[in-house]
Structure 1
Amino acid sequence: MTQHTDPPPWVADGSWRARATEALSSISEAVCFLDAEYRYTWVNDAAERLLERPAAELVGQVLWTQFPDRPGAPWQQSVRRARSTRSTQHLEFFHEPLDRWFEVRAYPVLDDLVLFFRDVHERRTLDEERAAESSLIRGVLNALPARTAILSDDGTILTTNTAWAQAATTAGRPGASRAGDDYLAACRALAATGDPDAQRAVEGLEAVLERRAPSFSLDYSPPTAGTWWHLQAFPVDGGPGAVVTHTDITDRVRAEQRAAWQARHDHLTELPNRAALHETITGALTEDGGPVTVLYLDVDGFKQVNDSLGHSTGDLLLQELAARLSQRTRTSDVVGRLGGDEFVVVARDCDAPAGEVLAQRFRAVFDEPFELAGTRLSLTASIGTATSDPAHTGPEDLLRDADAAMYAAKSDGRDQHLHFTPTLRTALEDRRQVVTHLQGAAALDQLTVRWQPVVHLPSGTVTGCEALLRWEHPHRGWLEPAEFIPVAEETGMIVPITRWLLRTAIAQAEAWQADGHDLAVAVNVSAVHLSSGTLVDDVRQALAGRDLDPGDLVLELTETALARDPEHAVAQFCELRTHGVRIALDDFGAGYSSLAAVASLPADVLKVDRALVAGPLPAAATAPEALLGAVAALGAALDMAVLAEGVETAAQLELARRVGCTYAQGHHLSPPVTGDRLGALLTEGRRKTGQQRLP
């Protein structure tokens, strides 16, 4: 700073020094006088303290030599300029030798200079720290992606970051404000229009500004913007006011909405899934008051579609079916998919007769063939319905009963509709009890085995027997296989039961052989066990450590089970044969397997179904004999021994011999008996005939 002044008269007459030294000696500011050569001529006490030198050392010394600095230092230039321009100079400078900031004012007085010094190091340091802090805060604010503003304690915007400033032109929300605007007033104005989000924002901001709440947050969506924002406010730490941020959460909210939708819908058909259906049924039961009918639909033969045409075609079928079902429902009905080929319709205000009409409408969906990937499919469905009554306390009850009715419809021949009744409920409860008791039957020694002998027709000797399961139910007495095996297959319990049966059969065969009876044992294998993938390992483990020759173990698979997945069955039985186990194809003639599938099965025995053996045989009839003979010839052509099962009469036994069957079994030869009884019969037969025969 430069200032020109005219000296007063007392300066011109030279008396100024005496006056100045008297006035300046005791002031707190450092003062020194310099002559024309920049030598100290006088310093006051404050200058001695500031410069850390006594006056005696300074007076007579040149300023530059006492306090050297780099050539051309700003303060030196300022002092020289004061003399050369005869003007007052004022500046602040950092003096490196003393490592401090100083303020200096230089006044020319005739040929002399008067210098005023003041240590401003602390002030300059504080100013720099504040500037750095302010710059840091500004940098942090501008780096924040969220729109951020700092408010005063009355809600006025003090400052904003770059993101806020760029959005300041956006209209329609309180965030569209600039520094100096009353943000809280803008929120109040918007709340006055009836905007509930703005009202909540006002209440939350007031609580934060008044220190009644440690923070406030709100997710909101502007009415027409189609975006979502997260508003957050919290007090300024250690001072008045608050920090307010608006973060764009549109992507997050849409992702959450998408995830929530996906959690309640089937991804393939986009229909409501089980969770959503449960909510719908619960709401219908508790809110509507009227009857609710649930329809449970299962596509007949869907597995064959998947197996023969591939899962992609199966998926197309499910999508087309979902569309057709949705088109046949009433406005208030909800169509959903539980999984696989199972669909559910929830019909509000729908009693049992109306449910019957609705079920027939859905059955009609299948009247038109499905055109899928160039393939024309004609399909049917089994439908079960259940209508709410006091016994239904929740969605699980209705779904369970509708499922039971559907299962009964499918068991009744498919392409049927059945409505759930108390009779079905009783049957369902019986089935549930069967399942519960069956789980512990083997462990509780309730399962037992009966053995039906297999007779070698050319010699008449007994060469083996079939293991037939029996169950001594704790309440219902002895149960035949047909009463519990289907339940065991449906629940998967057939696998552990078969493992138990394998161990039991092998142990019994070893016991017979120890008594001199050379018998093979046959065990039936379920298609469920084949599908489990554990059959080979289960058989190997059952034989491990036993004395029985694997060739004395025969595994029987029904023709129907073979037809379900012939490739899988053939692969497993081929592996079992490498371990010496023999294979029998059971119930041949009752199923629908192709001759190619039969020929590919590595079977040793072809068991003819009892229906071919026990058919009526009038004296003039030759068709049954021709049919049975054809099967026997097929067995011979495939190098399989043929066994006639279900032989009930002497005539049937004679027929089996005549057409060339190798083996036979049935009640005419022997009913199923206990292991001890069969051993006793063979002992008696050997005593009478000298051979392993039945007496």
Structure 2
Amino acid sequence: MPRLSRFWSRAPGRTTAALLLAAGLLFVLSIGVSLQRAREQLRLEAGSQRVSIWFSTQALVEMQRFRVALLRFDRGDPGWDKDRLLERYEILLSRLPLLNGAEEATTRSVLDHGDVVQGLQAALEQVEPDVIALRPGDVVPLARIDAVAQEGDLLLTRLNLALHSERRRAVEEAKASARHLSLVFQVSLGGLLLAALLLLLLIARAARRAVQAERTLRVLVDALPVGVAAFDEEGRIVLVNDAYLGLARLNQEAEALGRRPSELGAGTAVEEDIARVLSHRTAVPPQEATLSYCDGTARTLMVSTAPVFAGNGALLRVVRVALDVTEQRAADRRIRHLAEHDTLTDLPNRLLFGSHLKSQLVRAAPGRMVAVHCIDLDHFKEVNDSLGHPVGDQLLLAASARMRGALRDGDMLARLGGDEFAVIQPNLARQSDARILAERLTELLGRPYRLQGYTLRAGASIGTALAPEHGMTVEALLSRADIALYRAKAGGRGRAVLFSMEQEEGLRERRRIEEELRQALSRRELSLAYQPKFRITDGRIEGCEALLRWHHPEMGMVSPGLFIPVAEETGLIHPITQQVLDMACRQAMTWRAQGLDVPVAVNLSAGHFGAEQGVRLVEEALAATGCDPALLEVEVTEGVFLRSAEAATRSFKALRGMGVRVALDDFGTGYSSLGYLQHLPFDVIKVDRTFIAGLEEAGPGRRIVDAIVRLAHGLGAEVVAEGVETPGQLATLRQLGCDKAQGFLLGRPMPPCALAEMAAHPPERPEARSAA
């Protein structure tokens, strides 16, 4: 002992350094082991929470629903017509790619089923013509379809069982690992506490040796990223670091020494943990705690409390460690909020709406009803087209505020997309309660709006369905509320309509549109308007987009939003596309004969590529018209990849092989993925108008457009900005290096002769056109 004392007195610097090194190594080792084990536990828990099980279950349910729909259609049951059978078939097809692409499906047993799922999808697509052409009583095609469905049912059942077994094994592994993780945390916490004890001992010894050594050790303690406090056997503070002082909102350590946590406003929870450690002589496991301040603010802490023992087993101190995780928890809540809410109105989106409606249906008391109101703003598209999207956004916000004010505390208002809203009205005693709210909303939304100097009258149409009378599932209620909404619109808009079974007859209206559309094709009532695309650097026209128009002798101009969905559902989209391609190619060659080379872009439906008919339609149009492929551009949206990415890839390569340019439309919305950009060399990427709207502000929209431009140029593609409506947007696009632009600022859709005149006599700069 005398020798040790002499050694300490002769070489205090080396001893201090050794102890500091030991404390630091112990701290780093404890933290490292804890983080490593925590990451392993997270990996195991992630493996036990497989989204693929949900996908496989959904696929199996949709397969069984399709078989039931097939049987009921063949029997001719009321309400089970061809449209409903095709709807079940399309839903089934949409579930299979989700199952095949689940990210967590990385284990061997799931990979072994990947080829089976792809084969099942291919088999279902092969019988698609049979499904489309099927009629009640067709025995042979029905047998082929049912054979594929029966085999698919068996395969999906086996896959589901395999996934459940796999998840059960993963859960067992995660539970075992959790027990080990708890032990590791205890050991690591002990390491942290031991490191803290070493630091405390160094501080005490350094205080007797030198002021400089004390300052060094103090800096080390205060540099710790967590709040550390030590308490004596009476629960009084004997040491705190700077981080703990910050959490306690104290300026100096002297304000805390000798006092209890409750005297500093920390509440009773801290003292209860300290008393528990003193009583049981064991550590309190890490847990979340809320630290509230007198000004009403609060912080979220991850805290742990543990005893410090002497060599003889006596309890010397209690150490409490607190890590501030307020920002992390706030970020978690924000991410969840963004995933479940609309970015413009901050209303719940379709995902949260469906989840809430499902829970309300489960909790509905006997004799009580749940109402679902589907709401569409009337004339919203006209507002967007005539006054621009900023005014349209303001209209959506104003309408949302009016609807919020009319609802009860327990009601939910959601934005499903575009100008579509929905309301859940639970716990109703009478049907009239739902009718009163719908009429109230109609009246409120029909009042004039004063927005940015304009007085607008938009109005709204509302369709209402009631549970349990009209269904007890989310899908059934939304579908029947949509039917009632369609009836409200058809009756002149600005109306509230409650669903009734007779409204199923509204489906006949869609069939009428189908028949009118067939006649329109034969009478050549469809025409094209052309919206020019301008080179941003000098304002010259370098192409245009062909936009479909239908002028009906009695109905007047029919919106594409009304007849295109009908065309896609009935298969008329193929002859319509054939006619559009023919008109666009002939017009491009007419302009060339006039000395103008103006390439024409034509939008092709995702259905063309799912059935691999797009290439054939383009080939036939080029052959029939003699059009130069360089004068044709095909625009597709990201939806083409949902049904069959491989078929779309083959089609795009074939089109580019012919010399036809391929453009990706509305990039940045929907199911955007950088994966397919890597494998599909698009010639053009069109930036969606939603990003252009906020371009003049130095915010996320501008940074996103800048990133898209850089990405596209890096891939060798041109960038076209859609929806340019202000000179400021155009100037910003020029600064960002965007290649082309189209929008109302530069040119609205116009007849071929007007576009030829503009192309032949372009202004020197785009600003000149906007000023004119």
Instruction: Give the TM-score range, shorter chain.
Output: 0.3 to 0.5
State the TM-score, normalized to the length of structure 2. 0.39
State the TM-score, normalized to the length of structure 1. 0.43
Query: Which structure has the larger Rg over C-alpha atoms?
Result: 1
Greater helix content: 2
Greater strand content: 1
Higher relative contact order (CA 8 A, sep 6+): 2
